[in-house]
């Protein structure tokens, strides 16, 4: 197998440095962005397999020269090293396994995150058997156990529980995202609740889903998933080389 890895990216490119794929004689795994760039890399990797080469470097302009319109430039390193271990996936904790919680968990499942659906109600969790889940009488305790940089999404059946979980998540100070389903009125109520406990409520996103007015769970889930991923990816984007 040949590992193809982006080692430098300048300007507009389809993937970032560190993206990689494995190329074998017949199959590939992963992606460096598709298109002609990937086709050229696969072709070169298979040449290496046939010739017994160990290392190669490709410097590819993404413009008219290869028929790819990104306009940037990518440097690839091709070698026989094993694939790098994937970085840990950011945790997305969804509190509440009702209609919206289940729809959101399903929307997040194929994304590069570690999602968990948390609820004290076994019957609700049973409706989403395909999603990693946790049945617990104390959902707020899972906030304390969450890794730094997690997303906490609060969509329970109980406003008081929503407030408790949101306050716990904000009090940590290291969450990438704290979002709560609701309205401007609910947000104002939570702000009073949080300030009474010495917690700054400004880090809360409420309502979730960028103000979408459609109330269908699947639509809310689609907008909320986009919002959550944008927040989780923000630090990586801020430090990505150009």
* Torsions phi, psi for 60 (to 5 deg): -120, 120
Residue 202: DSSP 8-state? G
Q: Coil, strand, or helix at residue 127? A: coil
C-alpha 166, offset from chain centre:
20
User: How many separate domains does the chain show?
Assistant: 2
Can you give the pLDDT of all 242 residues of the chain as single tens digits?
999 999 999 988 889 999 999 999 999 999 999 888 999 999 999 999 999 999 999 999 887 667 666 678 999 999 997 767 778 899 999 999 999 999 999 999 999 999 999 999 999 999 999 999 999 999 999 999 999 999 999 999 999 999 999 999 999 999 999 999 999 999 999 999 999 999 999 999 999 987 788 889 999 999 999 999 999 988 544 433 33
| Whether residue 95 sits in one domain with residue 75 | no
* Beta-strand pair 55-61/73-79: antiparallel
Q: Is residue 231 part of a domain?
A: yes
| Whether residue 214 sits in one domain with residue 138 | yes
**Cβ proximity of 207 and 182 under 8 Å:** yes
Non-local CB neighbours of 222 within 8 Å, separated by 6+ positions: 107
CA distance 140 to 97: 14
**59, 79, 99: which is the final residue of a domain?**
79
**Mean pLDDT, the chain, whole residue set:** 91
Range of the structural domain that residue 118 is part of: 91-237
| Whether residue 225 sits in one domain with residue 164 | yes
| Whether residue 62 sits in one domain with residue 36 | yes
CA distance 242 to 232: 20
| Whether residue 191 sits in one domain with residue 151 | yes
**54, 79, 104: which is the final residue of a domain?**
79
Report pLDDT for 69. Answer: 67
**Cβ proximity of 133 and 117 under 8 Å:** yes
| Whether residue 103 sits in one domain with residue 221 | yes
CA distance 24 to 22: 7
**45, 79, 113: which is the final residue of a domain?**
79
Nearest CA among 112, 167, 111 for reference residue 139: 167
| Whether residue 107 sits in one domain with residue 63 | no
Report pLDDT for 237. Answer: 41
| Whether residue 168 sits in one domain with residue 64 | no
Residue 85 has a CB neighbour count (10 Å cut-off) of 6
**Cβ proximity of 4 and 53 under 8 Å:** no
Q: Is residue 138 part of a domain?
A: yes
CATH number at residue 224: 3.40.50.720
Q: Is residue 64 part of a domain?
A: yes
| Whether residue 46 sits in one domain with residue 146 | no
Q: Is residue 115 part of a domain?
A: yes
pTM: 0.74
Q: Is residue 46 part of a domain?
A: yes
CA distance 172 to 117: 20
Q: Is residue 230 part of a domain?
A: yes
Q: Coil, strand, or helix at residue 20? A: strand
| Whether residue 101 sits in one domain with residue 48 | no
Q: Is residue 85 part of a domain?
A: no
* Beta-strand pair 204-205/91-95: unpaired
Q: Is residue 160 part of a domain?
A: yes
Q: Coil, strand, or helix at residue 108? A: helix
Nearest CA among 138, 104, 139, 89 for reference residue 220: 104
| Whether residue 221 sits in one domain with residue 115 | yes
Report pLDDT for 65. Answer: 66
Longest CA–CA separation in the chain, Å: 70
| Whether residue 99 sits in one domain with residue 61 | no
109-161 pLDDT per residue, tens: 999 999 999 999 999 999 999 999 999 999 999 999 999 999 999 999 999 99
């Amino acid at each position: 197998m040949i590992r193809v890895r982006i080692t430098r990216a300048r300007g507009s490119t389809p993937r970032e440095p560190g993206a990689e794929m494995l190329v074998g004689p017949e199959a590939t795994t992963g992606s460096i962005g598709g298109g002609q760039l990937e086709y050229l890399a696969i072709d070169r990797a298979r040449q290496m397999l046939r010739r017994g080469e160990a290392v190669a470097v490709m410097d590819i302009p993404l413009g008219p020269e290869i028929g790819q319109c990104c306009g940037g430039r990518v440097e690839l390193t091709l070698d026989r090293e094993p694939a790098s271990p994937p970085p840990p996936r950011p945790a997305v904790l969804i509190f509440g396994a009702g209609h919206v919680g289940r729809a959101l968990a399903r929307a997040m499942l194929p994304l590069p995150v570690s999602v968990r659906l948390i609820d004290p109600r076994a019957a609700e969790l049973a409706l989403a058997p395909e999603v990693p889940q946790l049945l617990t009488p104390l959902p707020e305790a899972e906030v304390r156990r969450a890794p730094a940089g997690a997303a906490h999404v609060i969509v329970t059946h109980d406003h008081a529980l929503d407030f408790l979980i949101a306050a716990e998540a904000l009090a940590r100070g290291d969450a990438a995202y704290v979002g709560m389903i609701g309205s401007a009125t609910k947000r104002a109520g939570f702000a009073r609740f949080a300030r009474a406990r010495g917690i700054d409520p400004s880090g809360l996103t409420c309502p979730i889903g960028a103000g979408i007015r459609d109330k269908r769970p699947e639509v809310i889930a689609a907008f909320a998933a986009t919002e959550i991923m944008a927040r989780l990816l923000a630090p990586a984007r801020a430090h990505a080389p150009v």
